[in-house]
Chains A and B, each alone.
Chain A
Amino acid sequence: MIPELGFFALILSLLLALALMVIPAAGVFAGNALLMRAARPLAAGQLVMVSISLALLTAAFLADDFSVAIVAAQSNTLLPSVYKFTAVWGGHEGSMLLWVWVMALWTLAVATFSKRLPLDMVARVLAVMGALGVGFIAFLLFTSNPFARLLPNPPLDGADLNPLLQDPGMVIHPPMLYFGYVGFSVAFAFAIAALWGGRLDATWARWSRPWTTAAWIFLTLGIALGSWWAYYELGWGGWWFWDPVENASFMPWLAGTALMHSLAVTDKRGLFKSWTVLLAIFTFSLSLLGAFLVRSGVLTSVHSFAADPSRGLFILAFLGVVVGGSLTLYALRAPAVASRSDFSALSREMLLLVNNVLLLVATLTVLSGTLFPLLADALELGKYSVGPPYFNAVFIPLMAVLLAFLGVGINTQWKRSRGNELRRLVLPAAIASLAIGVIFPWAYGGAFHIGVVVTMVLAAWVVLATLADLRHKLRHARGWWQGLRRLAPAYHGMVIAHIGLAITVVGVGLTSVYSEEQDVRMVEGSHAELAGYQFLLTDLSVRQGPNFVAQRGTVEVSHNGRPVATLYPEKRSYHARPGQLMTEAGIDPGLFRDIFVALGEPLEGGEAWAVRLQHKPFVRWIWLGALVMSIGGLIAALDRRYRPARREAVDRADAQTGPRHPVVTSTPAEQH
């Protein structure tokens, strides 16, 4: 009975989403404030219903109700409770329900935190989000019911959660990603509302900024978590594979990063309006495209869900309506006249335009690399797989150019910068970066490698140029602390995020060049040596886990005779999936290096093992940098400047509906 209640709550949420789509929009057309005000309670009702549905599905997992099809497919009585909880989103249906819940949450967040915006604007934004909610919930109800039953003969036990997903990293990775993907729907809804209302001014850009940044933070963390998980769980120490599904999350990130920067120009200078609207549409479209590629079975990937063409057709139709509709609206309503270009070739506007072009080219590079194999296959040109060599060859130079421009851009001013003043600001940073880059390999004691030099020059350049601008901004301050406090939080956020980017760049560059690995055959008592560390396999034994059996090695790691760590790499066989052997690496993490030991394959009937040893310098900086970027984003998103003052909002609302409908500030309904 409980699963049916969950299904019923989902139906109710669909009805509420339909009402959210229709009623406020009707209010906008009729100029009726009462109808527009219905948006907030409807958003709250939608979230309540979806939450009930998600809670009841979770209850079915925790109670081992194997009569529910996806519980039988993704859970097992022996599965530890925390993974029963995460098994809820371990498959297509449950993860789609999570997606819908996140959508409802963002909708209510917009409804709650936009009280100071003009009422008609809020109504438009929430109507657009309601329409998106209708699409997602209908997709769930009509093609992927999470509450489908296996009656009358439910299995006695479930097939268990895919062992790959039985991991702490997987607990929060999918929710984070979904908060990111779905979060871009807010910027999208604001853009559509602005086109619809015909008010494509600087204000909508300012309102969109914190929402876009918030979505970007989640996506940044989600991608970093995914990369970290792949690193320690897939068992061979890689952290990025250019896998189509990774690309599906990376493309909205790149486009979203471009959008954040372009929104800044539209907010501050009122320029690039059409472009920014298009980027907002594009970014969210890439989120939807990702969902389509992953869930329709079009792509082959370790991540993909079971293929189902009917689902693919539904998402495709949805994609067609949402993106096609918004691009049509864009074509009809976006201002066709180019903005007055009253900025010079050396100005912040121009440098941010360069940023946008580079990020967009990078996005399209990844997009074409992901879609080309599909295209070639569909046109019967043959089967291709576009792999890391292509992506690295195109993407890395683009990013290098982007980083080079970043340092200049930060130091430029709006409208125009004077060349010699700019030179005075950035020249010391440039010289120092070059010196750091050239000296680094020698100081680190590693081999001289041009990749390392370029990496370190660019990373140092980003940091030093950012600090040069900070120093310039503080030149009139009495003390640096007072000066720092007077700067806007958004500026602090930007500085921190750019330093985070530099940290990630260092991690990527140094790990790629300086990692060492070795595959050795080891028996109990075997020694091996790698990168100055000694490895001793002291024990090989069998360990019983809650729902698996593991072959476990004990490896003593020492450095010049000094013990460093004891690692326990495992090879696990889960009872419910005996064919799928899982590698659980033993990792000794460190700020400057990771030591990574993984069991490969048994040799000679299990007497000996192929063991993979890896030494990975600076690998943690990749994820650390992402964390710092997110913190920077958070500080910027919380800047009060992006929240319209009460006065301004009321004035605007009056100006909008004032003469014709003098009801905005005091409706009969409100006086009850």
Chain B
Amino acid sequence: MARQRLILFLPLLVFIGVVVLFFVMQREMGRGEYDPQALPSALLNKPLPAFELTDLHEGRPVTSDDLKGRVALVNVWATWCPSCYYEHPYLNQLEERGVVIYGVNYKDVPEKAKQWLAEKGDPYALVLDDRQGRLGLDLGVTGAPETYVIDHRGTVRMRYQGPLDERVWQESFAALIEQLQAEAQGAGA
């Protein structure tokens, strides 16, 4: 009899467990320690995919090896992307601060892209013309803008979806970039 009564408490106990789990998740989300929307990249800690594209401005061939050697951002952008308008001035600021940014002009019309850079300033050390979206596909881009952090060996260390601004930079990028710079210097690069 008593044992049968205890069984009736079982649903309650399971439920309490579920609620505790959700509570912890909610609290961490509230503190910003946990973000279920964050998507890791399948490329994390793997080399940047190999590619052979052309430079947007001069049309000369560029390969993945040209991006190696420096800690840098790889920024996927396009003129059709509204968030890129928002992000662009901040990229200019980053460039002034000495951050190396490679641009991937993703599924875009080269003429429009060149005009955009002429009007708004060009923060990119190099812009790849990825009008077919092949590099984007290899990177697993789901939408522009997206930004990847690569280290001096050309290994992908982080992926970020959405526009960059000062808050995002301080929260997600600043410490990592510093650490990678230190790694690069340690390696004597």
Which residues of B lie under 8 Å from residue A366 when comparing CB positions?
Answer: none
| Contact B22–A316 (Cβ < 8 Å) | yes
Which residues of B lie under 8 Å from residue A307 when comparing CB positions?
Answer: 29, 37
Q: What distance in Å separates the Cβ of A279 from its nearest Cβ neighbour in chain B? A: 11
Which residues of A lie under 8 Å from residue B1 when comparing CB positions?
Answer: 336-337
Q: B86-113: contact bitstring with A at CB < 8 Å (1 yes, 0 no)?
A: 0000000000000000000001010000
Q: What distance in Å separates the Cβ of B75 from its nearest Cβ neighbour in chain A? A: 17
User: CA separation between A621 and B16, bound complex, in Å?
Assistant: 41
Q: B42-83: contact bitstring with A at CB < 8 Å (1 yes, 0 no)?
A: 000000000000000000000000000000000000001111
Which residues of A lie under 8 Å from residue B80 when comparing CB positions?
Answer: 578-579
Q: B residues 5-50 with Cβ under 8 Å of A?
A: 5, 7-9, 11-12, 15-16, 18-19, 21-26, 28-30, 34, 36-37, 39-40
Contacts A299-B36, A377-B36, A579-B83 hold; do A334 and B21 have CB atoms under 8 A apart?
no
| Contact B36–A298 (Cβ < 8 Å) | yes
Q: Judge whether B4 is part of the interface by a CB distance below 8 angstroms.
A: yes
Residue of A nearest to B1 (CB): A336
Contacts A328-B12, A336-B1, A605-B109 hold; do A298 and B25 have CB atoms under 8 A apart?
yes
| Contact B5–A336 (Cβ < 8 Å) | yes
| Contact B40–A383 (Cβ < 8 Å) | yes
Which residues of B lie under 8 Å from residue A278 when comparing CB positions?
Answer: 11
| Contact A327–B22 (Cβ < 8 Å) | no
| Neighbour of A312 across the interface among B4, B26, B39, CB < 8 A | B26
Contacts A307-B37, A319-B19, A578-B82 hold; do A296 and B12 have CB atoms under 8 A apart?
no
User: CA separation between A535 and B18, bound complex, in Å?
Assistant: 53
Q: What distance in Å separates the Cβ of B160 from its nearest Cβ neighbour in chain A? A: 15
Residue of A nearest to B39 (CB): A383
Q: A170-188: contact bitstring with B at CB < 8 Å (1 yes, 0 no)?
A: 0000000000000000000
User: CA separation between A324 and B39, bound complex, in Å?
Assistant: 33
Count: A-B pairs, CB below 8 Å = 85
Question: How many A residues have CB within 8 A of the partner chain?
Answer: 39
| Contact A313–B26 (Cβ < 8 Å) | yes
| Neighbour of A292 across the interface among B8, B11, B22, B24, CB < 8 A | B22
| Contact B21–A375 (Cβ < 8 Å) | yes
Q: What distance in Å separates the Cβ of B20 from its nearest Cβ neighbour in chain A? A: 10
User: CA separation between A363 and B16, bound complex, in Å?
Assistant: 19
| Neighbour of A579 across the interface among B11, B26, B81, CB < 8 A | B81
Residue of A nearest to B78 (CB): A579
Which residues of B lie under 8 Å from residue A299 when comparing CB positions?
Answer: 36
Q: Judge whether A59 is part of the interface by a CB distance below 8 angstroms.
A: no
Which residues of A lie under 8 Å from residue B7 when comparing CB positions?
Answer: 336
Contacts A298-B36, A331-B9, A375-B21 hold; do A309 and B29 have CB atoms under 8 A apart?
yes
Which residues of B lie under 8 Å from residue A155 when comparing CB positions?
Answer: none
Residue of A nearest to B4 (CB): A336
Q: Judge whether A330 is part of the interface by a CB distance below 8 angstroms.
A: yes
Which residues of B lie under 8 Å from residue A601 when comparing CB positions?
Answer: 107
- 15 of the cross-chain contacts (CB-CB < 8 Å) are A297-B37, A298-B22, A300-B37, A307-B29, A309-B30, A312-B22, A316-B22, A316-B26, A324-B16, A327-B15, A334-B8, A378-B24, A378-B25, A383-B39, A579-B80
Beyond A331-B5, A374-B21, 19 extra complex contacts between A and B, CB < 8 Å: A281-B11, A285-B15, A296-B26, A298-B22, A300-B36, A307-B29, A309-B29, A316-B23, A316-B26, A331-B9, A331-B11, A331-B12, A336-B5, A336-B8, A374-B25, A374-B36, A378-B28, A578-B80, A579-B82
User: A: which residues have CB within 8 A of B?
Assistant: 274, 278, 281-282, 285, 292, 296-300, 307, 309-310, 312-313, 316, 319-320, 323-324, 327-328, 330-331, 334, 336-338, 371, 374-375, 377-378, 383, 578-579, 601, 605
